[in-house]
Structure 1
Amino acid sequence: MTRRVLVIGAGIGGLCLAHGLRQAGVDVVVYERDASPARRHRLRITPEGERAFRECLPAPVSDALVATSMRYTKGMAAYDEHLVRLWEHNDVDDGDLDRVDAVDHRTLREVLLAGVDFVRYGKEFAAVSLTSSGGVRVRFRDGTSDDGDVLVAADGADSAVRAAWRPADVPRDLGVRAIVTRIPMVRAIKGGLPEFMRDRFTSVVSADVSFGLLPMEFRPDAGAEDYYMAVFNMHRDDLGVPDDVLFELPGPALREVLRNRTADWHPDLHGLFAHVEPSETYALALRASVPVRPWGQGPVVPLGDAVHTMPLSGGAGANVAAQDAAALCRALTAPGLLSEGLAVYQADLVRRGTAAVEESIRMARGSMRID
């Protein structure tokens, strides 16, 4: 039986699914509202996430993923704001040179988009309805529509499909506001970043702030600039900047927020914020889907952050989205009734998503105040 799958959202999960379906001969089209490139930040890749990517992606794309990824074997350490070490953990290098430990978000998306013909840009989702044949009809803001057998909501934590189809499933605001930025590695090191912080994930924990500094070192032949991803977390009550102001601040103003809030930190830490890239600096609210709920029977199914939004702690989001994509690809290409395959997928999705969300919240509670 020939099936047609419509995907809303050309993010990591949606593109991974589309590659898997295309390899299996399924008619798939991905609709994306925004053609602008993804933000440039580091994504942690777990062994489970890597297996899911490799399951979905054709060999050339999988090879490109490895070639543009990072091998990470240095472990992590935590300090207070005065650089007094709190604890340290060292990883053991297993010698697997093809292992993927981290990727750059924008680079990964470019790899997934290279040469594909299944993405349609400028298509903003407006509504979805069921057809008389049991399929779906999707309408877009430009007045066009498309019909398919299945609609996949892969449009992220602010999912328009979820708002239309499952309006009660709103992620919970955890009260934490994060400022995410990128710091070129060369500038950070020249600016005095201590040597013991240069090659590993570093966590800085003060009375009211949780800060993470994560290296993104590309393979020698990748032709990309190494950088640090920096994430500054603080409860909105302590930050002192109202949400309606914070989320509208441009990059240079957010940089000043960072510098002001760390003025009493160790000089080597405080000086780091002079080197952030304003164009790659943005603020967001940490949210979580509690509980993770299935979307019920029918041809509209979720994937990734649209159904299991979680805080950044743990870096699980991209991995769980890739696992969703692999599982959904199996469900959509398996013999038998489509409804049965989708029911199995959603049960698996809830189990996997719940575990990831709970673990992310647990890790967040260990270093910051959350509601």
Structure 2
Amino acid sequence: MNYTADSIDNLGISLRTFSKINLDTVFIYPTVANKPYQIALMHKAANNTYSVMDTYNGVTLNNHYIASVEKKDMNFFTATPDTNTNLGVTFRAFDSLVLNSVKIYPSQIGVPFQIDLKRNGTVVNSYTGLTDSTTQVVNLNFGVYPPDSNSIYNLVFASNPLINRDAYAANTSTIKYVPGVIRILNDTAQGKHNYFYDWKVAAYNYTEPVPVNFLIPRDTAADAYKIVFTDNPGAKRDLGTTTSLTVPDGLTINTSTDQGYYNYFYNWKVRTNYFKFYSPAEALTLFGDASKIYIDYPDTANSQNVMDYTYCSKMFTYLQTVRMRNTLKNNVAFRDNLVSTSNLAFTGALDAW
């Protein structure tokens, strides 16, 4: 995504409510691990000033991880050395990452070499060293900070001291794509793998759920509430335009922006006593309709549903009926025939009484 990261406080999302709601969770994109932050729910007074109603204090997660990418080992039986400097591995980065190390297979010891990282044909990082074994791990520590996901990167030898590469063979265990992080586009030439094996790629799982659990009373005044960072840990926000989302009888979210960037808080999980708000993906999974982002639940607090343990099982919740109907429509054991028109007619269920 096209994004910026900053530590600006008191920028956020404004909203108004038409019934009492619970804001259970929002998602943020921190750039630094183990850093304290505070998110505040603010309410607008009659004089148009905001005061803090509730806060959530947290610490960004240390969710740094290392992924192994590319072919892990070289096949010595099919390997041959060469001195090509225009062959390498082409890849695309979808977010900031660090290429910690790669494995190379020199045919000579004590010979200098240079590895370059290019972005769109321009060298952005280089590593120089000496070959020290026939199987050598090179600690590149190349930072990759793509301005966009369309940039093309190449890892190549600028100085190649007879490095081995083996015959290409399709291998389903070779990881060439880490979602949201990196995709290998091309790593072969002339039927051989291009020099760089067993990449160690470090990245952050930037999205982080925050269980704010804000109870927000009904207030229909324009921009009655704001959700803001009062202590911003250096969160990302992407390019966006001001839009408005209204859930009937629930709330209106005014998507605030600053200098063309969306203000920090993504993928809200909202509920009330009367409806629940779903993401399009959740709605598609649950109801088969991505546009069904909210459902009227007059029985949300229904303690008499058959899955509750109140020993008063008299009714069903909405999703229990959805599950039953989906089960009846399933063709396992010809179950869907039970409610087919032909079967209902054959069994007399459609006959007049």
Q: TM-score range by the shorter chain?
A: under 0.3
Under a length normalisation based on structure 2, what TM-score does the superposition of the two structures give? Answer: 0.21
| Higher percent of residues as helix | 1
The one of the two structures with greater contact order (alpha-carbon pairs below 8 A, sep at least 6) is 2
Higher gyration radius (CA): 2
Under a length normalisation based on structure 1, what TM-score does the superposition of the two structures give? Answer: 0.21
